[in-house]
Chain A
Amino acid sequence: MQKGFKRNFDPIEILNSSQVEQIHSGTLHVLEDVGFKFDSQKALKVLEKRGCKVDHDTRIAKIPPYIVEECIASTPSSFMVQARDKDKSVRFGANTLYFMNSAGARYSDVKTGKVTMPTIQQNNEAVIVSDALDSVNVFPSYTPYFELEGVPPVMSCPVSCAQRMRYSTKPSRGAQPTDTFIWETKLAQAAGAQLLGCVEGAAPLSLSEDACNAAFYYLDAGFPIYIASGSIMGGSHPITVAGASVSHNAELLAIVVLLQSVSPGCGIIANNFVTAMNMATGDLNFGTAAVALHQMAYNQVWHSLYKIPVNNTGSAFSNSKKIDYQVAAEKLPLALCSALSGANMIVLHGGVTGELAYNPVLAVIDDDVANSIGRIVEGFEVSEGTIGLDVIAKVGSSGTFLSAPETRRLWKDEDFMPKIYDKTSYQEWWEGDKKTVIEKAEDRMQEILASHKPEPLTGDQENEVQKILDEATGYYKEKGLI
């Protein structure tokens, strides 16, 4: 199993206990009084049977607080996702921090920032690169690219999933649109892996039929579920952090109620992908202080009160069009706030240009970032051994700790050496090739592509994967979608 990073100190809390109660109480009020729209008769029947007040005309279910509380209680505080390679499986929850790869619609050229349709080869290379990066623990769906040259849009999720099964042994998340969950589930099973199922709400306060169908299908396969409700503060959520916290909580807890009513005890990781609105343009505004605060409050409520594992997506993207200082300035504060406030998974590697683009070179840079953040949350040990009074006495006022055997033995325990940051002296840099961190990341990416060979699928698995893709193509042709 992938170890991830173990947070060894209490998460930062930005709310007092009264504020936590107020957000939770507000959430229960919204679910009971305003209700939540489930665009699926099958889901509504399950909820009605559970005790919710269902209006079949409006498809709104009003959920009594006791049901919400029961469903929170039946959600496990930790659960496993089995990867194709069992050593790459993950266990979400508690004080473990993992990182999930980011994604983008298209390929971003490093030099120009021009966004183009990625080829299958570019897609596969990006998967291989992230498979090799030890800080990438999990892949999301349609990763790394949402679109692929020569692949019909409706097939992009199944094809993307198949490529991840072929070129990575790490766990993957599925998707939900247009019945893709059928094919992604089959593909994962053919490769001998579990998938992290996906059920995404449509803010405000609703869940599409696709999402409900995905919930039933993934649960039937015995997969744990990644729930989400992507939304914009000031658009599909209230503008205030507190209001957006209540609204967002209500959306995710409504999904928790559905999932726990269908399959009590199923594993759930709850994602936060709430962004701010750029009030000048209406676009998504990444990397803002309000989003950081929202995620921190969210982590606190879900971690301390609900005890349900949490994922944060705020650091997945930047508004910058190129890999530059702005990318770091927008992504890193959010990632660090997420890590310190108790996130169990953070989406980070490779996303640029809003959600429009991705480049594996940025994923390589983010590998160093993730390892640094992970090292920070692991904290440090305070003991006689690590204080080392005897070493301090031995060195006294005239020696150096560099020659102490303890230094050699312990220095890596509490620090991380970035692989590609420039740490040369000025003279070396001036007289050398003056490579930027981006150029060094490009070099490392080429080294990875030359040396990293993920365990391929067996012949039988490969045949099965191809058969499933053919079946999916036939299915969508019959529906007139290809």
Chain B
Amino acid sequence: MEDILEELKRAVLEFDVDNAHDIAAKAVQQGVDPLQAAKALTEAIRIVGEKFGSGELFLPDLVCASEVLKKAFPVINEEIEKKGKKQESLGKVVLGTVFGDIHSIGKGMVSTLLYASGFEVIDLGVNVKSEVFLDAVKKDNPDIVAMSALLTTTANEQKNVIEGLKKAGLRKKVKVIVGGSPINQEFADSIGADGYGATAPEGVKVAKKLLEID
């Protein structure tokens, strides 16, 4: 049992994308507690995240480690659901790149780092319409909505989402974080966002601060 948990951790730490799915399937097959398996994976990604924070690892490492999780977690999650268990997380974040904007790299980095830090992340993808954000807030009940925009022309779409949340009476239910190249603190304040992160690591710091974690 110990061995397979170690194997799962090693898959993340050694960026073994190719074998991640099979190792997770093997863990399930061996009857390992899926929550323990999930814990092994999140512990490993936390180590990767820490090494990224200290400058020992870099974005490609972080993203590859998260690719390992993307392969392994569906298998583990299926088993968690099957057994009627529930995972713990620091909080739930719905995130996406706003409508009109198809840039995904920055959003992907934030997603990966949030995940590595222990958040549950619902990634809505790119070119996400305001109503999709609103539906996700209604359906998934997140703690945070995080929006990315890379273009000056799409930055205002972040404001539209916030206005939509207000109109739908959902604004007080969630914290809103915005980011992206054309965004700055002044803009974030002007559209009524709760937080702004200039970089992906800053985005995570802001998320933790808003949820009063650490």
Q: Which residues does A use to contact B, with CB under 8 Å?
A: 400, 402-403, 405, 407-408, 411, 417, 425-428
On chain B, the residues within 8 Å of A417 by CB distance are: 58
Tell whether, in the assembled complex, residue B60 and residue A428 are in contact, meaning their CB atoms are under 8 Å apart.
Answer: no
Count residues of B near A (Cβ-Cβ below 8 Å).
20
One of A408, A411, A425 near B15 (C-beta < 8 A): A408
On chain B, the residues within 8 Å of A407 by CB distance are: 60, 63-64
Q: Can you add 17 more A-B contacts, CB < 8 Å, to A402-B59, A405-B15? A: A400-B105, A400-B108, A402-B60, A402-B108, A403-B66, A403-B108, A407-B60, A408-B61, A408-B63, A411-B58, A425-B199, A425-B202, A426-B198, A427-B185, A427-B202, A428-B198, A428-B199
Tell whether, in the assembled complex, residue A425 and residue B198 are in contact, meaning their CB atoms are under 8 Å apart.
Answer: yes
> How far apart are the CA atoms of A427 and B202 in the complex, in Å?
9
> How far apart are the CA atoms of A405 and B60 in the complex, in Å?
8
> How far apart are the CA atoms of A214 and B64 in the complex, in Å?
59
Q: Which residue on chain A has the smallest CB distance to residue B184?
A: A427
Q: Would you give the shortest CB distance from A74 to chain B, in whole angstroms?
A: 50
Q: Which residue on chain B has the smallest CB distance to residue A406?
A: B60
Which residues, 62 to 90 on B, are CB-close (under 8 Å) to A?
Answer: 63-64, 66-67
On chain A, the residues within 8 Å of B174 by CB distance are: none
* B210 on the A face (CB < 8 A): no
One of B63, B196, B202 near A402 (C-beta < 8 A): B63
Q: Which residues does B use to contact A, with CB under 8 Å?
A: 15, 17, 58-61, 63-64, 66-67, 104-105, 108-109, 184-185, 196, 198-199, 202
> How far apart are the CA atoms of A425 and B108 in the complex, in Å?
18
Q: Which residue on chain A has the smallest CB distance to residue B105?
A: A400
On chain B, the residues within 8 Å of A427 by CB distance are: 184-185, 196, 198-199, 202
Q: Which residue on chain A has the smallest CB distance to residue B18?
A: A405
5 tightest Cβ-Cβ pairs between the two chains A and B: A425-B198, A408-B60, A427-B198, A408-B64, A407-B60
- Of A407, A408, A425, A428, chain B has the most CB atoms within 10 Å of the CB of A408
Tell whether, in the assembled complex, residue B64 and residue A403 are in contact, meaning their CB atoms are under 8 Å apart.
Answer: yes
Q: Which residue on chain B has the smallest CB distance to residue A417?
A: B58
> How far apart are the CA atoms of A425 and B181 in the complex, in Å?
10
> How far apart are the CA atoms of A400 and B184 in the complex, in Å?
25
Tell whether, in the assembled complex, residue B63 and residue A403 are in contact, meaning their CB atoms are under 8 Å apart.
Answer: yes
Tell whether, in the assembled complex, residue B58 and residue A402 are in contact, meaning their CB atoms are under 8 Å apart.
Answer: no
> How far apart are the CA atoms of A425 and B203 in the complex, in Å?
12
Q: Would you give the shortest CB distance from A91 to chain B, in whole angstroms?
A: 32
Q: Which residue on chain B has the smallest CB distance to residue A402?
A: B63
On chain A, the residues within 8 Å of B66 by CB distance are: 403
Q: Would you give the shortest CB distance from B98 to chain A, in whole angstroms?
A: 17
Q: Which residue on chain A has the smallest CB distance to residue B196?
A: A427
Say whether, besides A428-B199, A428-B202, A400 and B104 are in contact (CB < 8 Å).
yes
